């Protein structure tokens, strides 16, 4: 018995170590990390090294707990500013987009497999959500510096679409398990009512749980080593409580993390480091367990149909769902195309595909196998092409900051101040005379091993370590002061134009100097206000506005989103890559609006002419 325990521990820890080492390969080559974890699980499973694991209930339980940990960490690490910025399009994709993907994929599954309509929609629901872990890793490992709007939309969508897919999957499993021939109208009514109650209860429990976690952490004087474990346990308690009363535990735990991470919670830096490590461990365990549960020898009979369904999901179902969901938000065609492509399927889809087996459905194992192959197709095709596609579409922007060395230290007894330790790097603005703002209080400089008061240190030198007291939620200005110059790729040297102009200057100067195309009411506007109006009131770093022969580029914005630096490009922008026309629905809508406005103006003018003639 003792030897069996030691052997199981040895095998389990060896798998985790192998998965951890595989992350180095993924970071080196930009490979989808989930694909490597699944490959290790498959290689050690029944058709590999021979480890037999066929406990669907244990696999689902372990995967659900791991997913709850990952979602809490995702919410904890999402700034509320990013969430608000992308809330509209991201939540639309997470709700309506999941439903549309389920329908489109389900219709294709009916004709490509032997599944019934309900079973096909169940398969569609299982693969309808994107994987947060895969999306976050690929954007980070590939060093893909996207525009804030695109990155925020992808991150918030992947973090919030799991609860809807889980609800649809479990509900369809219950309906099919009844065995009767249900009425379609009753199914839709039950889905609608159940969805509302499921989401509302989950949201209420999540918000209350998040505030409760913050309150308990601030009230209880727990040891710093025990505090992260306490918070992790409370997050799982929120997850379980919401599920116990019929709500969405996954939505609840995500919202609890969002509330806790954006509050003045104590020891936030310690909690972030701990949760980052626990989230990695949860991902590894979940992916390995799901890989062990699969049996590749069962894939052969369904392989052609499953691969075809994976291609339909990538090239048909996801793009159409994204296009329909993003019509109201006027995103450029390139951004819509990229969002539709970065819809990677992952562990959640495989986890949900276990539920038909748990429900005892006749084709439960077949649904699981098809979903597993669809996930592999998604990771292989989409996972390897995210970076190249972003560059092809022109969505990658030069980094705003160069290399930066910083350590955050939380002060004992205060949740509202931090001690930041910066290492002064060569080329940073602070070496060129820019002053540290008044709200920051520098106290100490360590130079060549000697501690010096900041007032006695004189001018800072490269290699100095500067310790600064700052209030929490400090602006990014300090990072800009201590970062080195941004290393711009030679291909991006002219990204921000040939020269800069003052955004406070009137836009009429551009019309006089470069024959810029301006509207009647735009000539009196400052250049910054003109760009802000053209961009819908939400200008961000690297946004571009075309004015005919010239192009204006946002070089920088302040903490309030106001444009503070503008570049001017005198040469026409390179031609945009060919994107399917239907992905430009927002552009088509704007053109129709302009056409309708011109017709109305022309009609109004034609009516005035007879009146003027009669008056004459």
Q: Which candidate, 63, 66, 67, places its Cα nearest to that of 53?
A: 63
Q: How would you list the strands of the sheet with 405-410, edge to edge?
A: 405-410, 417-423, 465-471, 441-447, 450-453
Q: What is the dihedral of CA 461, 465, 469, 471, to 10 degrees?
A: 90
DSSP assignment, residue 299?
Answer: S
Residue 152's closest CA among 169, 166, 176, 135?
Answer: 135
Rg for the chain (alpha carbons), in Å? 28
pLDDT at 575 > cutoff 60: no
Kindly state the tokens that stand for 453: 């008061």
Residue positions counted in the chain: 616
Percent of the chain with pLDDT over 90: 24
Dig out the tokens for 149 from the structure.
């709007």
**2-293+311-392: CATH topology:** Na+/H+ antiporter like fold (1.20.1530)
* Residue at token pair 């062990």: 292
Task: Kindly report, residue by residue over 128-152, the tens digit of the pLDDT.
Answer: 999 877 777 677 655 677 877 888 8
Assign 616 a pLDDT band (cuts: 50, 70, 90).
very low
Whole-number pLDDT of residue 27: 58
β-pair partners for 545: 552
pLDDT, tens digit, 9 for 90 and up, residues 350-361: 999 999 999 889
| Higher per-residue pLDDT: 505 or 608 | 505
Cα–Cα distance measured from residue 28 to residue 37, given in angstroms and rounded to the nearest whole number: 15
Residue holding tokens 């980070």? 140
212 touches 259 (CB < 8 A): no
CATH topology of domain 405-482: Alpha-Beta Plaits (3.30.70)
Q: Tell me the C-alpha to C-alpha distance, in Å, between residue 596 and each of 113, 305, 583, 601.
A: 47, 46, 22, 9
**What pLDDT, in 10s, does the model give residues 442-467?**
888 898 888 888 888 888 888 888 88
Query: What whole-number distance in Å separates Cα of residue 586 and Cα of residue 269?
Result: 41
Closest CA to 106 of 312, 368, 359, 365: 312
Residues 158-193 have pLDDT tens digits of 888 888 898 889 888 988 887 756 665 666 666 777
Beta strands in 448-590 (DSSP E): 450-453, 465-471, 499-501, 544-546, 551-557, 563-569
User: Checking DSSP bridges between strand 450-453 and strand 499-501, what pairing results, if any?
Assistant: unpaired
Question: pLDDT by residue (tens digit) across 70-123?
Answer: 889 888 988 887 788 788 899 999 999 999 999 999 999 999 999 999 999 999
B/e letters for 434-470, b = 16+ CB within 10 Å, e = fewer, are eebeeebebebbbbeeeeeebeebeebeeebebbbeb
Do the first three CATH levels of 2-293+311-392 and 494-569 match, i.e. the same topology?
no
**What proportion of the chain, given as a percentage, has pLDDT over 70?**
79
- Tokens at 574, concatenated: 């390179």
The Cα–Cα gap between 161 and 97 comes to 9
Please state, rounded to an integer, the average pLDDT across all residues of the chain. Answer: 80
- The span from the CA of 207 to the CA of 276, in Å, is 22
Residue 521's alpha-carbon distances to 518, 526, 538, 594, in angstroms, are: 8, 11, 19, 16
Give 546's strand partners: 551
| In the chain, where the domains are located | 2-293+311-392, 405-482, 494-569, 581-615
What's the pLDDT at 26?
59
The residues, ordered by sequence, that sit 6+ positions from 277 with a Cβ below 8 Å of its Cβ are: none
Lowest mean pLDDT among 91-105, 302-316, 419-433: 419-433
pLDDT at 31: 57
Helix (H, G, I), strand (E, B) or coil at 518: coil
pLDDT of residue 573: 55
Residue of higher predicted confidence among 595 and 559:
559
Alpha-carbon distance of 468 to 472, in angstroms, equals 12
Give the up-direction half-sphere exposure of residue 135: CA atoms within 13 A in the CB hemisphere.
Answer: 28
Question: What is the 3 state secondary structure string of 398-460?
Answer: CCCCCCCEEEEEECCCCCCEEEEEEECCCCCHHHHCCCCCCCCEEEEEEECCEEEEHHHCCCC
Residue 187 has a pLDDT of 64
Check residues 124 and 410 and name the one with the higher pLDDT.
Answer: 124
Whole-angstrom CA distances from 537 to 92, 530, 597 are 21, 10, 21
Residue that is written with structure tokens 């058709």 in the block: 47
User: What pLDDT sits at residue 311?
Assistant: 95
pLDDT at 543: 80
Question: How does DSSP assign 334-380, residue by residue?
Answer: HHHHHHHH-----HHHHHHTTHHHHTT-TTHHHHHHHHHHHHHHHHH
Which pLDDT score is estimated for 493? 53
Task: Please calculate the CA angle 363-368-369 and round it to the nearest 5 degrees.
Answer: 100
Residues 6+ apart with CB under 8 A from 305: 112, 113, 370
| CB-based burial label for 88 (10 Å; 0-12, 13-18, 19+) | middle
- SS3 label, residue 566: strand
214 against 270, higher pLDDT: 214
Which residues have C-beta within 8 Å of that of residue 579, sequence separation ≥ 6? Answer: 333, 334, 337, 393
- CB count within 10 Å of CB 293 equals 27
pLDDT at 310 over 90: yes
Angle between helices 56-76 and 268-293 (to 10 degrees): 150
Q: Could you tell me if 44 and 292 are in contact, meaning their C-beta atoms sit under 8 angstroms apart?
A: yes
Class of domain 494-569: alpha beta
pLDDT in tens, 390-425: 888 878 777 666 556 666 666 665 555 677 888 888
Nearest to 143 by CA among 433, 399, 447: 399
Strand pairing report for 405-410 and 499-501: unpaired
Distance, in Å, from the CA atom of 218 to the CA atom of 413, rounded to the nearest integer, reads: 10
pLDDT of residue 553: 85
Sign of the C-alpha dihedral computed for residues 188, 192, 197 and 203 taken in this order: positive
Q: List, for residues 8-44, the tens digit of each pLDDT value.
A: 677 677 767 766 666 666 555 555 667 777 888 888 8
Of these ranges, 36-45, 288-297, 550-559, the one predicted with the greatest mean pLDDT is 288-297
Q: Which residue has the tokens 């595909």?
A: 353
Tell me what the mean pLDDT of segment 309-327 comes to.
Answer: 94
Residue 63's closest CA among 336, 386, 299, 291? 291
């Amino acid at each position: 018995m003792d030897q069996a325990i030691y052997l199981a521990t040895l095998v389990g820890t060896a798998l985790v170590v192998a998965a951890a080492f595989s992350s180095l390969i993924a970071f080196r080559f930009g490979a989808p990390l989930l694909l490597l974890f699944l490959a290790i699980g498959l290689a050690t499973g029944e058709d590999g090294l021979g480890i037999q694991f066929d406990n669907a209930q244990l696999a689902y339980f372990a995967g659900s707990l791991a997913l709850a940990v990952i979602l809490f960490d995702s919410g904890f690490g999402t700034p509320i500013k990013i969430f608000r910025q992308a809330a509209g399009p991201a939540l639309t994709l997470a709700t309506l987009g999941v439903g549309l993907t389920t329908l489109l994929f389900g219709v294709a599954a009916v004709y490509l497999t032997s599944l019934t309509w309900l079973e096909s929609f169940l398969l569609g629901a299982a693969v309808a959500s994107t994987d947060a872990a895969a999306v976050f890793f690929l954007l980070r490992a590939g060093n893909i510096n996207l525009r804030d709007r695109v990155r925020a939309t992808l991150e918030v969508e992947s973090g919030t679409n799991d609860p809807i897919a889980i609800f649809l999957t479990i509900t369809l499993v219950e309906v099919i398990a009844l065995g009767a021939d249900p009425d379609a109208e009753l199914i839709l009514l039950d889905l609608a009512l159940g969805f509302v109650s499921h989401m509302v209860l989950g949201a209420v429990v999540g918000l209350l749980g998040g505030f409760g976690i913050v309150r308990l952490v601030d009230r209880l004087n727990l040891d710093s080593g025990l505090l992260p474990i306490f918070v992790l346990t409370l997050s799982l308690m929120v997850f379980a409580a919401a599920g116990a009363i019929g709500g969405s535990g996954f939505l609840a735990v995500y919202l609890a993390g969002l509330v806790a991470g954006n509050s003045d919670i104590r020891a936030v830096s310690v909690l972030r480091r701990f949760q980052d490590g626990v989230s990695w461990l949860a991902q590894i365990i979940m992916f390995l367990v799901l890989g062990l549960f699969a049996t590749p020898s069962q894939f052969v009979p369904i392989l052609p149909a499953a691969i075809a369904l994976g291609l339909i999901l990538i090239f048909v179902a996801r793009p159409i769902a994204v296009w329909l969901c993003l019509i109201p938000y006027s995103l450029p065609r390139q951004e819509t195309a990229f969002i539709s492509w970065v819809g990677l399927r992952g562990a959640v889809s495989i986890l949900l595909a276990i539920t038909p087996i748990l429900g005892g459905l006749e084709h439960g194992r077949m649904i699981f196998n098809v979903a597993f192959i669809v996930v592999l197709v998604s990771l292989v095709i989409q996972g390897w092409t995210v970076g190249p596609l972003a560059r092809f579409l022109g969505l990658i922007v030069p980094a705003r900051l160069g290399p930066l060395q910083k350590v955050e230290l939380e002060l004992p007894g205060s949740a509202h101040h931090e001690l930041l330790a910066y290492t002064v790097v060569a080329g940073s603005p602070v070496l060129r005379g820019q002053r540290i703002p008044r709200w920051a209080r520098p106290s100490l400089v360590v130079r060549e091993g000697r501690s010096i008061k900041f007032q006695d240190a004189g001018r800072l030198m490269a290699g100095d370590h500067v310790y600064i007291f700052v209030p929490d939620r400090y602006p990014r200005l300090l990072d800009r002061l201590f970062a080195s110059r941004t290393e711009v790729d030679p291909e991006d040297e002219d990204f921000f134009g040939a020269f800069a102009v003052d955004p406070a200057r009137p836009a009429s100067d551009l019309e006089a100097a470069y024959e810029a195309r301006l509207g009647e009411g735009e000539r009196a506007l400052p250049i910054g206000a003109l760009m802000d109006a053209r961009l819908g009131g939400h200008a961000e770093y690297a946004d571009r506005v075309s004015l005919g022969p010239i192009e204006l580029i946002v070089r920088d914005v302040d903490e309030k989103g106001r444009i503070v630096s503008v570049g001017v490009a005198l040469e026409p922008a390179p031609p945009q890559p060919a994107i399917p026309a239907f992905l430009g629905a927002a552009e088509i809508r704007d053109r129709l609006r302009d056409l309708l406005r011109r017709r109305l103006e022309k009609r109004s003018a034609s009516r005035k002419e007879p009146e003027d003639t009669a008056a004459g």
